[in-house]
Amino acid sequence: MPAVLQETQEKYVRSRGPHFAFFVEFALILCMFCPVSFGHSCAGIFYPYAALDLGCGTGVLSYFTPLACLSGLVFMPFAGRLLNSCDARICLAASCGVAGLAFLLLSMSTQLWQYLACGVLMGFGTSVLIYLAPATLVNRWFAKNAGFYIGLIAAFTGIGGVVWAAAGGALIQEVGWQWTHRIFACITFACIPVMFLCVASRPKDKGILPYGANETGDISAAGAGIPSKSGDAIAPLAPGDHPKARKGISAKEAFRMPQLYLIMGFAFFLNCGMYLNGMIPSYVSTLPLGAAVPMLGSIATSLSMAAQTGTKLMLGYIGEKHPYAGPIFCASAGIVGVVLLLLGGSLGIAGLIGAAAILYGIYYGVTNVMSPLLARKTFGGLEYPIIYARISMAANVAGVLSGFVWGAVIDLAGFGAAYAGGMVVIFLAIACTVGLAFFQRRDMKRYLVESGLEEA
């Protein structure tokens, strides 16, 4: 056994009983299932009822979500530094508290500006829960199959959306949209003690190794807080790992690397194309087929949601072993899905539209899983929250812009032009993935030559 691993295992022991990493995973799943699903996946169920009481159109009220993305974008750099240096329990509990306060204030809104201002507050609360906390804490706590556990967390946004959209819709009918928001606020506030009980910043805070570290030999565990005196990898690098990732790359160095900007481009273009997934029911409603099969748009949405949930679960595991082929395949499925969608619309074949929804759902499931996984494989965990905050900013910019841009394209040129543009942005995401693979292999070649393990 290597001396460093021997010494580390004497100080940081294996967890007895269930590993604490699974308690952290549970807390993160709860965040996705409750406050994130309430604030984002279920936001639309309130618009028709709130718009009627506030005396405005649902279109104007739907700016709630872009405003939440915009405030999250502004807060992201600060949130990354807070999560890197402060107690994660406080960060997550405070985020749940802010989200709960936003729900409570929504229930008291009597004017449009008050409702939209709550969207800004919601973005401050949920940005950490959606983007930073899962990627950061899972990479610290799981040395084995981290991608799968990130995918599992991400899948609960879709599951929560299905469950709470139905439950929320029923509650609105029974008690009204104001009291439904208050109920959501109470559930969100109830998550706060769970954050204090089930979360710790790093395995060293509990005096244990990350889950799977004994099997992989990776005692540094990508930011787990356990020191490595060797300064280099003590075990073979996993597929796609940067040679410096195990030791960790500082934010200052990462900001000079082309890989960072390629991952940012990957996240940006993926999120740009994702918006069009939600427009499938609107597109179907414009077709003669949509009139003949009234439930086709809803069926397509359900198929897409099921596909994206399955993709998040599977890609988390597959992406660890195939970090470039996995996202390229899934993104390519999105391009094929667009072709089938337009073909099904022109030929009037419902089966093609259903298949298109499934393929587009496969593409939709990529970003929340692969963006953090690629960042970890490239930069390690030394200052991961700071680095990943920049990547999340790119995703948030796409979320803010895509609604306005694609809406304008649809109004000016129709759905066909919008989905053609969607194929272009998906192709650009694939190009970013290919570029990232090139630079990773280039740096690996340089590392092997400089280490004397390979001739120039």
In this prediction, residue 145 carries a pLDDT of 83
- Label residue 106 by pLDDT band (50, 70, 90): very high
Identify whether residues 157 and 270 lie together within a single domain.
no
In this prediction, residue 265 carries a pLDDT of 96
Residue carrying the six token digits 């003690």: 193
In this prediction, residue 424 carries a pLDDT of 96
Identify whether residues 199 and 263 lie together within a single domain.
no
Give the tens place of pLDDT for each residue, 140-167.
Answer: 999 888 888 998 998 898 888 888 888 9
Question: Nearest-CA neighbor of 316 among 257, 380, 366, 260?
Answer: 366
Residue 225 maps to a domain? no
Q: Are 168 and 179 in contact (CB under 8 A)?
A: no
> Which residues have a Cβ under 8 Å from the Cβ of 232 and sit 6 or more positions away?
246, 247
Give the tens place of pLDDT for each residue, 277-291.
Answer: 877 877 887 888 877
In this prediction, residue 232 carries a pLDDT of 45
Residue 430 maps to a domain? yes
Identify whether residues 197 and 289 lie together within a single domain.
no
Identify whether residues 168 and 259 lie together within a single domain.
no
Identify whether residues 288 and 141 lie together within a single domain.
no
In this prediction, residue 15 carries a pLDDT of 52
Tokens of 315: 């890609």
Identify whether residues 417 and 354 lie together within a single domain.
yes
Q: How far apart are CA 23 and CA 27, in angstroms?
A: 6
Q: Are 273 and 425 in contact (CB under 8 A)?
A: yes
Rg (Cα) of the chain, in Å, rounded?
22
With 80 as the cut, is the pLDDT of residue 134 above it?
A: yes
Give the tens place of pLDDT for each residue, 31-67.
Answer: 999 999 999 888 888 988 898 999 888 778 878 888 8
With 60 as the cut, is the pLDDT of residue 456 above it?
A: no
Residue 90 maps to a domain? yes
Q: Are 266 and 123 in contact (CB under 8 A)?
A: no
DSSP element (H, E) containing 8: helix 3-11
In this prediction, residue 297 carries a pLDDT of 77
Q: Are 429 and 331 in contact (CB under 8 A)?
A: yes
Identify whether residues 283 and 348 lie together within a single domain.
yes
Residue 456 maps to a domain? no
Domain at 128, CATH number:
1.20.1250.20
Is the pTM for the entire model greater than 0.85? no
Identify whether residues 187 and 304 lie together within a single domain.
no
In this prediction, residue 63 carries a pLDDT of 83
Tokens of 258: 């082309």
With 60 as the cut, is the pLDDT of residue 235 above it?
A: no
Q: Is 113 exposed, middle or buried (0-12, 13-18, 19+ CB in 10 A)?
A: exposed
Give the tens place of pLDDT for each residue, 73-88.
Answer: 889 888 888 888 899 9
Give the DSSP per-residue string, 165-220: HHHHHHHHHHH-HHHHHHHHHHHHHHHHHHHHHH--S-GGGGTBPPBTHHHH--SS
Question: Nearest-CA neighbor of 386 among 52, 85, 100, 27?
Answer: 85
Residue 211 maps to a domain? no
Count of structural domains within the chain: 2
Give the tens place of pLDDT for each residue, 18-39.
Answer: 899 999 999 999 999 999 999 9
Least confident of 96-100, 102-106, 159-163, 359-363: 159-163
Give the tens place of pLDDT for each residue, 364-409.
Answer: 888 788 998 999 889 988 888 889 889 988 988 888 888 778 878 8
| Residue 452 CB neighbours (<10 A) | 7
Identify whether residues 23 and 150 lie together within a single domain.
yes
Q: Cα dihedral angle (401, 403, 406, 410), rounded to 10 degrees?
A: -150
- Label residue 230 by pLDDT band (50, 70, 90): very low
With 70 as the cut, is the pLDDT of residue 11 above it?
A: no
Q: Give the ranges where 242-324 is alpha helix by DSSP (H).
A: 251-254, 258-274, 280-285, 288-292, 296-321
With 80 as the cut, is the pLDDT of residue 17 above it?
A: no
Identify whether residues 195 and 298 lie together within a single domain.
no
Identify whether residues 107 and 190 lie together within a single domain.
yes
> Which of 206, 224, 243 is the last residue in one of the domains?
206
Residue 187 maps to a domain? yes
Residue 138 maps to a domain? yes
Identify whether residues 293 and 157 lie together within a single domain.
no
Q: Which residues constitute the domain of residue 31? A: 17-206
Tokens of 196: 């204090």
Residue 12 maps to a domain? no
